[in-house]
A and B are shown apart, each in its own frame.
Chain A
Amino acid sequence: MLAVRGLHAHYGQAHILADVELEVGEGEVVALLGRNGAGKSTTLKTVSGLLPASAGEVHFLDRRIERLPPHRIARLGLGYVPEDRRIFTDLTVMENLEVGRQPGRAGAPSWDEAKLFALFPNLAAMRDRPGGRMSGGEQQMLTIARTLMGNPRCLLLDEPSEGLAPLIVEQMAAAISTLKREGLSVLLCEQNLHFARSVADRAYIIESGRMRFSGTMAALAADPALREQYLSV
């Protein structure tokens, strides 16, 4: 479904991503783990076209997409959910969802408001509330729902558990499992290993912009040294 080959990215002079390789298969949930500043968010931004790749290839559904503008990538069915949520604070919940609306596509689960409110019941009660007057957890749900309105085949999820209360994190994990059951592929950036373990099949570890580990969740769980080296703070 999604394959990244030898990807490099720069912020000005700073070399942020070096030779990143990763793959997400059909219907798979893959976690991209690493500490703050390791290059997780940059990877997602580069894949979604918000940051230009300085070298390398991104393949999505057998198409090269690394030179496409963000809206073309989104329309191919690769949905991006930013880490800082980026809710349109002046717009209501319904209007935020409207911005994300795209026509349905073959091979992807299709979404509408009713289905999304079933997935995130908290949102249903606040259809007409401006995005700026929602809690962090509610905003996180809205930002995922907004991207789902585009009926993506693959979701790039940037730290959905960050800064949320434990109860909300559990709800979030349940929601991601539902998405997986619907047949959506997910690339998930996380620092929260526990959260990642509850939803992901495989994991990558990134550190200083380079891939350090690739394997199953079970293999990662069985290797405390690895966790100590790249994940513990």
Chain B
Amino acid sequence: MTWSSILIQLLNGLAGAASLFLVSAGLSLIFGVTRIVNFAHGSLYMLGLYGAYTLIETFGRTPLGFWSGVALAALLVGLAGALIEVAILRRIYRAPELFQLLATFAVVLVIKDIALFAWGPEDLVGPRAPGLRTPVEIFDKRIPLYDLVLIGIGPLVLGILWLLLTRTRWGTLVRAATQDREMVAALGVDQARLFTSVFFAGSVLAGLGGALQIPREPANLELDLSVIADAFVVTVVGGLGSIPGAFLAAIMIGVAKAFCIGIGTVQWFGVEIAFSKLTLVVEFLIMGLVLIIRPYGLLGRPPAQQRHSGEPAPPLVPPGWKVAAVWLVPLLLLPAAGDRYLVVLATDIACFALFAASLHLIMGPAGMVSFGHAAYFGIGAYAAGLLFKRAGLPMEAALALAPLAAGFAALIYGWFCVRLSGVYLAMLTLAFAQISWSIAFQWDSFTGGSNGIVGVWPAAWLASKTAYFYLALAVAAGGIALLWRVLFSPFGATLRAGRDSPLRLEAIGVELRRYQWAAFVLVGALAGAAGALFAFSKGSLSPSVISIALSTDALIMVLLGGVDTLTGPLAGAALFTWLRDEVARRTEFWRAVMGLVILAIVLIFPQGLVGGVKALVARWRRARA
């Protein structure tokens, strides 16, 4: 590379960093004050991009039309964010934090379908910035003038935010609330209004980040989750709640990505390395490195001990045989009904129930929320597919070995993850899932790339849907029984104690991390078993089995059913799988329907379905007594 091309890549990276910084700053601001990890933040960015497209088409492709379109799109997205806060989140601030996360997942689903309905499934290529189209020559290389403007916008917004936060009463209140929002309320500040204003400001930043990308990136429906993953990485690398940190991190990641594209494929000592393929992974590699060296990000500090008003998790009740029989007997008799569709659906549910139960152990009793649990499901599925197709193992052997592969991945990923806690841990799990996904997606020659692997069929004796259903049921029931057995063993008690008071546990001489690490491996292996089971039931697999979307599906299942109960995740998996199947057969907009159903449940049963039903039963009993 010559010096001039290095400079060009640097400028390219800095231009890309601007939007990344805007969206991450908004996420950071919202998290700081409301403690909500807003998964819908990427969706707001996407809306900004689509909104700018439409508004610029309406106003005309003139400089005035372009910039007023961008500004209006950002403002409208800000209003949308404020509406989400007022209509949904405000009602559940007293619910457990994870439930607020579930609500934002639902918003993601709804916004995706709103965009699909309003703008259609095709990518929309926006106009180049009018008046800024002429490229500038720098050292005989050309760079669009618009990119240089973007490079200036990043620091400009950083400066404006800094002034707002340090020189205005609103900023003082925001910073105070970031530390202790209850005390701010006790001093007479209306929290609800403060939260709405913060949601508005954060959403404007997301919308602006999206709108400014319109000349550089086509508007498409995949942006919501890919942007939220990027924003998580930037926020975590920079340090949660630190806006200058987000700025630094956005630049680091933007520049690293630009260089990966710029370097392209090179030969090093006879080995061909395709740097351009690393773009998807590089930010996650940076994040992994930064978190190992500075667990709270570049400019972050250890999170202040939060005063949470939520009640502690209730003790778990061990399941009885009677309860298990009530569930198992009808399931065993299910194929007798003779409905082939029902058997296939029940097989799916069995796979996802095991998947959800494994996620439940790690996020509920062990207190380590994973945003990337699909990593283990997917690695299990891929291991099964690869062992079967590439290694030529019999199906039974592939199915039996797949959990070991997933467990091995969890052994490596978990070693890093247990060093962190809370939101940082969750985001690191997402990063690992995304790395796994990128490998599966890009390693065409081995994993089949985006096509995945086909022809992954079960052995002859399991070929019938009914036989396979019994296999799935047996594996799922066995796996779930194992998980529950572990939960009520001394090992499980240690995990639960570690969730409630890690310091006290350390003080009595327990090295909590080892237990958490072991739990990671166990749930990874069982999620892998679920993935392998799923792959053979479908006969094929694609990178979607490791996608962020599947990770969030699993979170929805657990949270929908209720994280404080054992059977909740199973009920959640069944309900979610069945509902998605039913709705998807009837309408193209099944995501919106699912999202609205989830929102309804969140608002009516803030403890999850099973938790809510239990509370109802308890109230009914009290009323009778």
Interface flag for B188 (CB, 8 Å): yes
Which chain A residues numbered 111 to 166 have a C-beta less than 8 Å away from chain B? 146-147, 149-150
Residue interface bits A71-97, CB-to-B below 8 A is 1, else 0: 100110000101000101111000110
Secondary structure of the A contact surface, majority rule: loop
Asked if A150 and B175 sit within 8 Å, CB to CB, the answer is no
Question: Contacts A90-B179, A91-B172 known; A50 to B186 CB distance under 8 Å?
Answer: yes
Partner of B172, one of A48, A69, A80, A99: A99
Asked whether any CB of chain A lies closer than 8 Å to the CB of B169, the reply is yes
CB distance from B243 to the nearest CB of A (A): 13
Given known contacts A91-B172, A99-B172, A99-B173, is B187 in contact with A74 (CB within 8 Å)?
yes
B122 touches A (CB below 8 Å): no
Assembly CA distance A82 to B184 (angstroms): 12
Q: Across the interface, which residues of A come within 8 angstroms of B182, CB to CB?
A: 50, 70
CB-CB under 8 A from A88, the residues of chain B are 175-176, 179-180, 183
Report B-chain residues with C-beta under 8 Å of the C-beta of A146.
Answer: 187
Contact: A71 with B185, CB < 8 Å?
Answer: yes
- Provide the residues of chain B in CB contact with A216, threshold 8 Å: none
Q: Does A183 contact B (CB under 8 A)?
A: no
Contacts of A98 in B (CB 8 A): 169, 172
| Size of the chain A interface, CB-CB below 8 angstroms | 27
| B311 lies within 8 A of chain A by Cβ | yes
CA A71 – CA B177 in complex, angstroms?
Answer: 13
B189 pairs with A71, CB closer than 8 A: yes
Instruction: Give the B interface residue count (CB, 8 A).
Output: 19
Q: Is B302 an interface residue (CB 8 A)?
A: no
The reply on B191 being an interface residue by CB < 8 A is yes
B172 touches A100 (CB 8 A): no
Main secondary structure of the interface of B (DSSP, over half): helix
Least Cβ–Cβ distance between A187 and chain B, in angstroms: 15
A150 touches B180 (CB 8 A): no
Contact of A48 with B186 at beta-carbon distance under 8 Å, contacts A88-B179, A91-B176 already known? yes
A12 beta carbon closer than 8 Å to chain B: yes
Q: Which residue of A lies closest to B301 (CB)?
A: A90
A75 contacts B176, C-beta separation under 8 Å: no
The reply on B190 being an interface residue by CB < 8 A is yes
Q: Which residues from B are CB-within-8-Å of A99?
A: 172-173, 176, 184, 187, 189
Question: A70's contact among B169, B179, B185, by CB below 8 Å, is which?
Answer: B185
Task: Check if A102 is an interface residue, CB within 8 A of chain B.
Answer: yes
- Least Cβ–Cβ distance between A47 and chain B, in angstroms: 11
Q: How far is the CB of B213 from chain A (nearest CB, A)?
A: 33
A86 close to B172 (CB less than 8 A): no
In the bound assembly, the distance between CA atoms of A74 and B183 in angstroms comes to 11
Q: Is the CB of A71 within 8 A of B179?
A: no
CB distance from B217 to the nearest CB of A (A): 36
Residue pair B176, A69 in contact (C-beta under 8 Å): no
B175–A70 touching, CB < 8 Å: no
- What separation, in Å, do the CA atoms of A71 and B184 have in the docked complex? 8
The answer to whether B175 and A74 touch across the interface, beta carbons within 8 angstroms, is no
With A12-B311, A147-B187, A150-B188 known, 12 other A-B pairs at CB within 8 A are: A69-B191, A71-B186, A71-B187, A71-B188, A71-B190, A74-B185, A74-B187, A86-B183, A91-B176, A98-B172, A99-B172, A149-B187
Residue ranges of A at the interface with B (Cβ–Cβ < 8 Å) = 12, 48-50, 69-71, 74-75, 80, 82, 86, 88-91, 95-96, 98-102, 146-147, 149-150
List 12 A-B residue pairs with CB atoms under 8 Å apart, sorted by A's residue number.
A49-B186, A80-B186, A86-B183, A88-B180, A91-B175, A91-B179, A99-B172, A99-B189, A100-B187, A102-B187, A146-B187, A150-B188
